Structure 1
Amino acid sequence: MGLILHHQSLGKVFQVRCLHIPLDDRTPFEGLVKFVENSVKDEHSRSPNRPVYLLGDSFGGCLALAVAARNPHIDLVLILVNPATSFNKSHLPPFIPVLEALPRDLHFGIPYALSLILGGSLKMAAARSEEALLSQQTVEELLRTISSLIPLLSDLTDTLRNDIFLWKLKLLKSGASYSNSRLHAVEAQVLMLVSGKDNLLPSGNEADRLRKSLKNCRVRYFKDNGHTLLLEDGLNLLSVIKATTTYRRSNQHDFVTDYLPPTKSEFRQVFDRDNRLFSLATSPVLFSTLKNGKIVRGLGGIPDKGPVVLVGYHMLLGLELGPLYEAFLREKNIIIRGMAHPFLFSQTETSRQEMSRFDLLRIFGALPVSPTNMYRLLSRKSFVLLYPGGAREALHRKGEEYKLYWPDQPEFVRMAARFDATIVPFGVVGEDDIAEVVLDYDDQMNIPFVQRWIESMNQGVIRIRTDMDGEVGKQDFHLPGLLPKVPGRFYYLFGKPFETRGMDILKDRESAIEAYSRIKSETKSLMSYLLKKREEDPYRSVVQRTVYQNSWGVSTEVPTFDP
């Protein structure tokens, strides 16, 4: 059942197999383990250099862990969904002696157990209807779903006799005991998905325990979901696999070759739903420059084919990223591969780690910044997003809005020239229209307990510019204190494309330095232009934009200044 909502998307990436255990089957747990083990060994023999994924939901989690413990030499990736290893700590063990004392044909306890299992799904369905009360289609869909569940519950009650329910409980008990006794032998990579409102198993606490016991385990916590996580609204299993960089074709994840582009549903989920309020508040305006120097609204001046390197100013906390990715995908159907600090890929996680903005960055193409990754992307004619100012710009101090912190080394220009790539500088302004920094890095380092927290958070963080002097070469990660403002507007301007083809940049370092200086100067000019022209925008304020959209429709493009 849990595969129903996910087999179509998973089938585009994996060869999907499904284990079915008939209700009247009496194969003991070790027999089921051997059955799965044989299938795993068969797949491994066909493709010994590729991982085998085991998706274990509840009882299946015990099976997956047991198979992994018995086969440490096989490259396995386990995806555990509310694993039943916590059976002994659940509400279920007391049912065993009660059921043993009752006639086999009675159905005592089964409706209660089903309510524990399906309660979360029904809650999710109810919540979904409340969010869309005005949608007739959604209401009709919900009614059909509930109507179809009624005979299903009746059939299950008739089918799950006490003897079957008793056998399943004993199977759960033995499976939990078997897998728990062998956790130390599990070498597999593990991704665990747990629910915060699991009424059947204490999955949250179990995540705390398993994360400490397993050698290579990551967790994603869904606080509002129930036991039947895979059947509930709002979860896309493949998206979680992609967001956690769990998908790989070899013995380790490759950010270039293993990248799976975002799907239409992922795009709609992020930009048409989750990010909708931010987009309405900031109403981004994008301009680009044609080859003849004319500035036009939209991305008409951006090349249609790569390799292209986009270089520009990194706004506070990277707030400009969402509208930038959305515009390129929506207008040009181009995926930008953003070069991000390695900190975003190696940060410390917890057993109650929820899906985060960092996860979304991975889905939409972010990868650790390095010369090797940039080389490989450009060789594939990709669109690469690079911020020379890096973390120092994105975590700037008070009063440092729109100040570039670019290093003196022109290496990205030389790398672009190696592949005849086009460099497009861009400027972006508007961060000062939505928030003000009131507690910056310098302020925080003067507060003893905050200083200790920052130092602890940055222990072991990879430094990518250790060979550089000054502030560019060192920047501790921290969270600036911000004071929100009545939202203004974001403005982007992409400058005239800089062609490296035919230039002597690669061999002549002086030419590379000159080109680098021109690009940096152009980026400053683009921001100066936007800072001046935004004063002419009659819809800079969210109030004027709201009035306009109420008159012409939320989806209507709001006018701005004439470029």
Structure 2
Amino acid sequence: MENKGVQFISPLLEYGYPVTVEEYENNTLFEKPLLLYLPGFDGTFLCPFLQFPELGTIFDVRCMTISTSDRSSFAQLTECVLQYIQQETMTMRRPIYLMGESFGGLLACNVALQIASDSHQLSDLLKGLALINPATSYDRSRLAREGPPVAQLPWWNYPAGLLQLLPLFTDEHSFQQLLLILTAQALPSVIDNPMREAYMGRVAFSLPLVIPTVTPSTLDWRLHAWLQTGCQYMTTRLHTLSDVHPNLRTLIVVGERDETLPSSEEAIRLQEILPNPCVRVIPDAGHASTCGSRADLAAYMRSHFPELNQGGGRTEMKEDAAQGEGAWYGMQERFDSARIGLIPLLYWSSPLYYRKYRP
């Protein structure tokens, strides 16, 4: 049965990124491996959106999104993902890579386990698992301690409770990096041409429509039915992934300053139990910025999955961005040395925007 609260989108197509739209219209997009991003408990694609253009040079990037009114269980969300993958590979079998961030990391692990079972004929297609601050450590997290009481606050005090949770997700450099972008001093290293800057601007303008309004009931459901239940379920099963899928390779990306989850500690634990692991620690990154401007996820994917590097792309962050300190880590001076950023009206102009695609 179709779940209208759960959708799967191509963010690059949705936002009119010209390269991807042309690949779609030329029927070459589907020749690429499928990268399926599973979101954190916000249910959106926002955390890694800066990474998608560079990831799109390797993959056909798809994202799961979940509405705030959805009340699917952990098991039901797993089944939604499995059904989508089966649908996408029915006519064209191609390599699959799962990327799960926070709650999505939990979900991705369960999906990988289910794919490896006898009931699914997808095991040979699943080539890699990328986990970003996975919530496999939720039971030991500050979010598990501080989140549930906020969901129980009276309506008049609930917004203040949410604000108190905000520091769990940010880091000391988040605001400074935003200022570097807004004042045209620098851009994230993965946003290195006008087309990508225009894409970044279009997504930024859509934020009021995309950022979810999390009600107390939604917060309570996601903390308990998703994170708590999912963590408990996977605790006794995660170690079996190496047994049922010994050839699967796992990339674990964690933020050094993640206050939401004990991600650095969890990376050490997961390295001992997941198949063929590789750990990347993002310096000074908080929970949300681990897959934002302080990272180069495509480079890490090429490095750990060599078959993705047939075109000779970079396997590390650009050198000058990696040598930056503080807020400058992961950032570069503007590609055009301009004193002001791209004019917003140009975000929707040709050749920076191509919207012939219709979902």
Q: TM-score, normalised by structure 2?
A: 0.60
Quick one: distance in 2 between partners of 1:201 and 1:169?
Answer: 13
Matching of residue 20 in structure 1 with residue 28 in structure 2:
no
Q: Report the CA distance shift for 1:9/1:214 in structure 2 as closer, same or farther (over 3 A).
A: same
Match of 1:53 in 2: 97
Q: What is the CA distance between 1:198 and its match in structure 2? A: 0.2
Q: Which amino acid aligns with 1:82?
A: N
Match of 1:116 in 2: 168
Matching of residue 86 in structure 1 with residue 141 in structure 2:
no
Quick one: distance in 1 between partners of 2:183 and 2:79?
Answer: 50
Match among 184, 190, 193 for residue 137 of structure 1: 184
Match of 1:296 in 2: none
5 Å-filtered alignment, 1:42-441, equals 42-48=87-93, 50-72=94-116, 73-76=123-126, 77-95=128-146, 98-99=149-150, 101-103=152-154, 106-117=158-169, 119-120=170-171, 123-126=173-176, 137-138=184-185, 159-170=213-224, 171-186=226-241, 187=245, 188-244=248-304, 246-248=305-307, 258-262=309-313, 269-270=318-319
**Is the contact made by 1:5 and 1:230 (CA closer than 8 Å) also made in structure 2?**
no
Q: What is the CA distance between 1:215 and its match in structure 2? A: 2.4
Q: Report the CA distance shift for 1:268/1:210 in structure 2 as closer, same or farther (over 3 A).
A: closer
Q: Which amino acid aligns with 1:113?
A: L
Taking CA–CA contacts closer than 8 Å with sequence separation of 6 or more, which of the two structures ends up with the larger relative contact order?
A: 2
Quick one: distance in 1 between partners of 2:236 and 2:163?
Answer: 32
Q: Report the CA distance shift for 1:116/1:96 in structure 2 as closer, same or farther (over 3 A).
A: closer
Quick one: distance in 2 between partners of 1:152 and 1:43?
Answer: 28
Quick one: distance in 1 between partners of 2:139 and 2:323?
Answer: 42
Identity %: 29
Q: Report the CA distance shift for 1:199/1:46 in structure 2 as closer, same or farther (over 3 A).
A: same
- Count of residues in correspondence between the two structures: 252
Quick one: distance in 2 between partners of 1:139 and 1:41?
Answer: 42
Deviations 1:41-98 (A, max 9, x none): 33444444x4311110101001100011112134421110000111110112234653
Q: Report the CA distance shift for 1:222/1:167 in structure 2 as closer, same or farther (over 3 A).
A: same
Q: Report the CA distance shift for 1:140/1:212 in structure 2 as closer, same or farther (over 3 A).
A: closer
Q: What is the CA distance between 1:184 and its match in structure 2? A: 2.5
**Is the contact made by 1:91 and 1:200 (CA closer than 8 Å) also made in structure 2?**
yes
Q: Report the CA distance shift for 1:15/1:259 in structure 2 as closer, same or farther (over 3 A).
A: same
Quick one: distance in 2 between partners of 1:275 and 1:166?
Answer: 41
Q: What is the CA distance between 1:203 and its match in structure 2? A: 0.0
Quick one: distance in 2 between partners of 1:23 and 1:214?
Answer: 31
Q: What is the CA distance between 1:129 and its match in structure 2? A: 6.1
Match of 2:56 in 1: 11
SS state of the match for residue 20, structure 1?
strand
**C-alpha root-mean-square deviation of aligned residues, in Å?**
3.7
**Is the contact made by 1:56 and 1:81 (CA closer than 8 Å) also made in structure 2?**
yes
Q: Which amino acid aligns with 1:219?
A: V
Quick one: distance in 1 between partners of 2:151 and 2:179?
Answer: 41
Q: What is the CA distance between 1:247 and its match in structure 2? A: 4.7
Q: Report the CA distance shift for 1:129/1:101 in structure 2 as closer, same or farther (over 3 A).
A: closer
Quick one: distance in 2 between partners of 1:4 and 1:212?
Answer: 30
Match of 2:119 in 1: none
Deviations 1:164-215 (A, max 9, x none): 2111211211122222222133223211101110011100011011111112
Q: What is the CA distance between 1:114 and its match in structure 2? A: 2.2
Q: What is the CA distance between 1:140 and its match in structure 2? A: 11
Matching of residue 30 in structure 1 with residue 79 in structure 2:
no
Quick one: distance in 2 between partners of 1:111 and 1:166?
Answer: 16
Q: What is the CA distance between 1:102 and its match in structure 2? A: 3.3
Q: What is the CA distance between 1:262 and its match in structure 2? A: 2.9
Q: Report the CA distance shift for 1:100/1:14 in structure 2 as closer, same or farther (over 3 A).
A: closer
Quick one: distance in 2 between partners of 1:227 and 1:268?
Answer: 19
Q: Report the CA distance shift for 1:182/1:41 in structure 2 as closer, same or farther (over 3 A).
A: farther
SS state of the match for residue 233, structure 2?
helix
Quick one: distance in 1 between partners of 2:219 and 2:84?
Answer: 27
Q: TM-score, normalised by structure 1?
A: 0.40
Which protein shows a greater Rg?
A: 1
Quick one: distance in 2 between partners of 1:180 and 1:57?
Answer: 17
Q: Which amino acid aligns with 1:68?
A: A
Quick one: distance in 2 between partners of 1:80 and 1:275?
Answer: 25
Quick one: distance in 1 between partners of 2:153 and 2:270?
Answer: 35
Q: Which amino acid aligns with 2:133?
A: N
Q: Report the CA distance shift for 1:210/1:139 in structure 2 as closer, same or farther (over 3 A).
A: closer
**Is the contact made by 1:51 and 1:248 (CA closer than 8 Å) also made in structure 2?**
no
